[in-house]
Amino acid sequence: MSLRAVFLDVGDTLLYEQPSRSAIYASAARDRGVEVDAGAMLELMRRANRELPREIDGAFRYTDTWFHAFIRKIFHVDLGLREAEVTPIIDELFARFENPRTFRLFPGVPELLAACRENGLVLGVVSNWSARLPRLLAALELDTRFDFVLCSAIEGAEKPERAFFEAALARAGVAAEHALHAGDHPEKDGYGARRAGIEAVLVDHRERLSGEAADAFPRVGGLPELTDLILSRLP
């Protein structure tokens, strides 16, 4: 079947934070007198993400309400800062992750998006992200390059759920066999797309992916290679 739509993950696929998200959180802690490095902060962040429920007071993961709880868990519960100290941290982090200067595009983003557009492909974002994603893409002048943006915090669903990918198919107006999804996570992007019948490709910019799950999918080392793969799927 010919390719008619391409879905793209955002974080660690199209762009990345500079410095890293954990480094930004660690810096906020050090500014309040708590010595913690990016590695230790990353573990705290992963643990908070595991331990917090997907919905808090009816608010889905990565909404502002959920992130309030996430940040309080790390800075108040785990690191011991007073509640009064956490509120300005929340405001600071929210602003930081909406600022386009926090992010860098991987090489090949304009060329990838242009190639998809020039070949008549429906182009969509499928991302687990806060509701700030559309504004961030606009600030990076990427919003007009996509036909739609499917954001987990807005939709109330997330990868790797099959329903999230099926929503992308509905937005694109194509059957699963005519779509390809590219992202960096074997479970969320790889198996999530595959369960919906969509071809999945892993983007491994830093050559970090390994193991049985990663080996289950075609893998590219960057966006120029992904562009070539997509063009090879065209008639």
pLDDT in tens, 34-65: 999 999 999 999 999 999 999 999 999 999 99
Residue 1 reports pLDDT greater than 70 = no
For 75, 81, 138, the CA distances from 35, given in Å and listed in that order, are: 12, 12, 35
Q: Which residues of 155-164 are buried (b: 16+ CB within 10 A; e: fewer)?
A: bebbbbbbeb
3-class DSSP assignment, residue 158: coil
Domains and their CATH numbers in the chain: 5-16+105-232 (3.40.50.1000), 21-100 (1.10.150)
Q: What is the pLDDT of residues 151-171, one digit of tens each?
A: 999 999 999 999 999 999 999
Cα–Cα distance, 202 to 55 (Å, whole number): 28
Say what the pLDDT of residue 125 is.
98
Q: How far apart are CA 79 and CA 89, in angstroms?
A: 13
Secondary structure element (H or E) that encloses residue 226, with its range: helix 223-232
Q: Look at 212 and 41; give whichever has higher pLDDT.
A: 41
Q: Where are the alpha helices (DSSP H) in 100-178?
A: 109-118, 133-139, 152-155, 162-172
Of the pLDDT bands very low, low, confident and very high (cuts 50, 70, 90), residue 213 is: confident
